[in-house]
Amino acid sequence: MSASIRVRHLPEYARLAKLLFVNRAVISQAASGDTPLRGEQERAQRRAEGEHLVRSLEEMGPTYIKLGQLLSSRVDLFPPEYLSALSSLQDHATPIGVEVVRSVIEEELGTKVSRLFTDFDERPLGAASLAQVHRAVLRDGRQVALKVQRPGVRQQVADDLEVIGELATAFDEHVGVAERAGLALMVDEFARAVRAELDYTGEAANLRMLASMLENYPRLRVPAPVDDLTTTRLLTMELVEGRSLATIGPLGLLELDGAPLADQLFKAFLDQLLIHGVLHADPHPGNVLVTTEGDLALVDVGMTTWITPELQDALLRLLLALGTTNAAEAASALERCGEPLDGFDRDLLGRQVAGFVLQTSGARLSELQTGRQLGELARLAVSSGLRPAPQLTMVGKALVNLDGVARRLAPSYEPASAIREHASVLMRHSMERSATPSSLIGAMLDAKEFAEHLPRRMNKVLDALAEGSVQLRVEGFDESALMRSIQKLANRAAAGLAVAAFVLAAAIFSISAGGPRWLGESAFSIVLLALALVLGVAIVWSTLRSDLPQRRARRRST
């Protein structure tokens, strides 16, 4: 970073230095790791320190509020008292003047507000640190909500993110636990999500995308955007009549049909995350509306990120392993979700995960919080030398928020049970994702390359053997037996490739709408699967016939 930029950031450095100094106890705790408490007095002191940190972040502005909300899921960095305080962070702000709002709308759309709308409500529906929302009526009679970005907030957030990124890099270089946790990578992922949230054309695209993903969930909806009246700083969307879930009291919640709503919301989130690879990272109660019809509407979907197919598969394995208390599979899946550092101790990770799974296996399903579980597993990963993927932090944050929404709707809701019930759907889609035409073509090309190069490579090996340029320590070397073994291996490899090709082709035909059908399934799929089964049984039978007698003979000879 250049000296001019550093000079420009001097005021931000001063504010951040003050934040760190007045909350040095929290920062020191995060750097050194959680330490046992010796009494209620120390616990109360930590709660007070956490509440002071929350007030400090609220004073620092929108970027730090969102960063605090993200950190509320980092059980690997903060003890429970701090996390509880951070989870209470709310993004409320003093409304900006209506004339400022009008000027932003007119600047973005190039015409007067009075020409665009037959009615414009000057009282905001809500005001946050990044934007505020107003009700309006279009010329065609449709009621809409206008999300108007605050002037100057984009540059403020950009400056904040730059300074926070510098601090995270410094922590990675000088604080061991930050480097192991990948703090700089986590902040970078957070910065990308916040920058995307400030582009309302991207949020409009997210609304359309999520609407298509919720087609199978009739009690969930998102407002439809009005594209002609949407820009990077102004989002015009359908007005959804309802109340924020965060504002509904206990008696109001009793009137809701909470369990089915929580079930649809949780399963829809799993679909988005593990099937489509899309993460809506901010589904907290304030962003969930209970409509007048008693359904749920998701609003403020700007903070959305993508999950790689590899991380999708690893997360699916991890969630299923947690749901079935399979410690070995959970440790293996967790390793897939991270990057091993120098000194990574796989055995230590396995023992820690086994202890954690054993500890949670005795809890009631309704007491388990999936987001907290992921956070605790991230802490165990860091302590064993495994750096969690940066997206895992966003997933943990989203699941912590989603757990809160689900329990608010239905206190006895069991996310772990929902994951098990939904596992077959998730696995089927995972298989279909692997059986795409491009994947099949790739497998066929690999098989073609293998078949083309195998004879030449075998000739090189045999030539080297004939010329004596390869040294082999073999007792009782039988060249004819070697050739028979090589031929047998090649035959089995070719048969295995054929089985894989049949299965992949069957999967593709199963999702195709064309062709003849038998019992509701594609006839081609049934035939191909039958061929694969016959060939697979033949391979197993051949292996048993030839290998087992040889093993018995070797045992008798020894």
Please report, for residues 130, 145, 246, the alpha-carbon distance to residue 95 in angstroms, rounded to integers and kept in the order given.
Answer: 11, 16, 20
d(C-alpha 120, C-alpha 146), whole Å: 10
Which positions are catalytic?
282
Give the list of residues 6+ apart from residue 488 with CB closer than 8 angstroms, or none. Answer: 546
Distance CA 208, CA 223 (A): 9
Q: How many CB atoms lie within 10 A of CB 493?
A: 14
- 146, containing H or E segment: strand 143-149
Q: Residues 417, 423, 425, 426: what is their CA dihedral angle, to the nearest 10 degrees?
A: 120
User: How distant, in Å, are the alpha carbons of 393, 456, 505 from that of 498?
Assistant: 41, 21, 10
3 state SS of 524: helix
Q: What gap in Å lies between CA 264 and CA 418, rounded to an integer?
A: 10
CA distances from 20 to 17, 28, 67, 179 (A): 5, 10, 14, 19
Going by C-alpha positions, the residue among 120, 125, 87 that lies closest to residue 104 is 120
- The token duo for 41 is 């007095």
User: Coil, strand or helix: which one is 315?
Assistant: helix
Q: Where are the alpha helices (DSSP H) in 72-152?
A: 80-86, 98-109, 113-116
Secondary structure class of 147 (helix, strand, coil): strand
Cross-strand partners of 225: 237
Q: What angle do CA 483, 487, 489 make, to 5 degrees?
A: 115
Round to whole Å and give the CA distance between 53 and 393.
20
For residues 118-132, one letter each, b for 16 or more C-beta atoms within 10 angstroms of the residue's C-beta and e for the rest, the string is: eebbeebebbbbbbb
